Amino acid sequence: MTRLRLDLAYDGTDFAGWARQPGLRTVQGCVEDALAQVLRLAQSPTIVCAGRTDAGVHARGQVAHVEVDAAIDLSALARSLRGVLPDDLSLLDVSIAPEGFDARFSALSRHYRYRVCDDPGSWDPLLRREVVAHPRPLDIEAMNAAGAALIGEHDFAALCKPREGASTVRRVLDLSWTRGSAGHAEMTVGADAFCHSLVRSIVGVLVPVGDGRQSTVWPAEVLASRARDPRVTVMPPHGLVLEHVRYPEDADLAARQEVTRAFRGPA
């Protein structure tokens, strides 16, 4: 068997998220079924991804791996997969995974972008599936000042949906808001990993600072409480895009996998 690396992009609008669920249209289900179809497998293979996006969340740089029969023609496989994948899901690349590569456990960091349009005069109907409308203008500087408190290693229990037995400690590597070319407020954020709904909760705790409903220190206070705060809105999924996933140099892939597994425990 050979491990393949798959680079994927999708419009999350019509998917019930990444993870396969019986009876629902999911990204994982579509890719696994497409692989089974083109490789003529009796049973769909299991693919593992770097970032299990929620329903409605998009990706421009999702990474996954899958085990296949060693005797495979990569370019023929790419052509066949592209022929059967639906319009809203695309295979950007397929390659032989280097030794020690695991899409989930070898990843160094995940990088997301969230976009908000805070001015009806710059609302672009062509981008309505990936930009969230907000009725009040946002102060980018205030959101950056408040967001700085979230950078670094913290227990994000206040901003996560908790999962039995799993740590809510994460390391946020960078977080910044800018005015995008179309005039939208754009947040980019990178972390070693994100717990469930963390990015959307981070946006939900910064937007009220941006529009003046909360002070710049409020997000730090919420974080410090380490308890879910009902005042924190989990923002809508469609503003969120998984932009890319970083991996170490090939020589360090296996070591990274071990570190991550030890820290986060079994999947």
- In 3D, which of 190, 184, 32, 177 has the Cα closest to residue 111? 190
Q: Which residue in this structure is represented by tokens 């930009």?
A: 131
| Identity of the residue numbered 131 | V
Q: How far is the CB of 137 from its own copies (least distance, A)?
A: 15
The residue (of 169 and 180) whose beta carbon lies closer to its own copies is 180
The residue (of 43 and 181) whose beta carbon lies closer to its own copies is 181
Each residue 66-105 as x (binds its own copies by CB under 8 A) or -, in order, gives ------------x---x----xxxxxxx------------
Q: How far is the CB of 28 from its own copies (least distance, A)?
A: 16
The residue (of 93 and 258) whose beta carbon lies closer to its own copies is 93
Could you give the CA distance from residue 147 to residue 233 in angstroms, rounded to a whole number? 16
Q: Please state, as a whole number, how many other Cβ atoms lie within 10 Å of the Cβ of residue 231.
A: 11
Is 54 part of the annotated catalytic residue set?
yes
Q: What are phi and psi of 172, to 5 degrees?
A: -85, 120
Say how many CA atoms lie within 13 Å of 111 toward its Cβ: 13
Out of 241, 242, 245, 253, which residue is the one contacting its own copies (CB under 8 A)? 241
- Give me the residues paired with residue 31 across strands: none
Q: Please state, as a whole number, how many other Cβ atoms lie within 10 Å of the Cβ of residue 110.
A: 23
The residue (of 68 and 92) whose beta carbon lies closer to its own copies is 92
- Give me the residues paired with residue 49 across strands: 64
Say how many CA atoms lie within 13 Å of 10 toward its Cβ: 30
The residue (of 232 and 242) whose beta carbon lies closer to its own copies is 242
Could you give the CA distance from residue 47 to residue 262 in angstroms, rounded to a whole number? 21
The residue (of 82 and 213) whose beta carbon lies closer to its own copies is 82
Contacts with its own copies: how many residues (CB under 8 A)?
25
Looking only at residues 30 through 59 of this chain, which bind its own copies when binding is defined by CB under 8 A?
58
Cα-atom radius of gyration of the chain, to the nearest Å?
19
Q: How far is the CB of 99 from its own copies (least distance, A)?
A: 24
Each residue 102-141 as x (binds its own copies by CB under 8 A) or -, in order, gives ------------------xxxxxxx-xxx-----------
- In 3D, which of 172, 200, 191 has the Cα closest to residue 245? 191
Q: How far is the CB of 60 from its own copies (least distance, A)?
A: 6
123-151 burial code (b ≥16 CB/10 A, e <16): eeeeeeebbbebeeebbbebbbbbbebbb
Q: How far is the CB of 14 from its own copies (least distance, A)?
A: 10
Out of 10, 114, 177, 194, which residue is the one contacting its own copies (CB under 8 A)? 10
Q: How far is the CB of 79 from its own copies (least distance, A)?
A: 9
Close Cβ partners of 125 (under 8 Å, ≥ 6 residues apart): none
Catalytic residue among 11, 54, 118, 139: 54
Contact present, 97 and 65 (Cβ < 8 Å): yes
Each residue 197-226 as x (binds its own copies by CB under 8 A) or -, in order, gives ------------------------------
**What does the binding site for its own copies look like in residue numbers (CB under 8 A)?**
9-11, 58, 60, 78, 82, 87-93, 120-126, 128-130, 241
- Could you give the residue numbers annotated as active site? 54
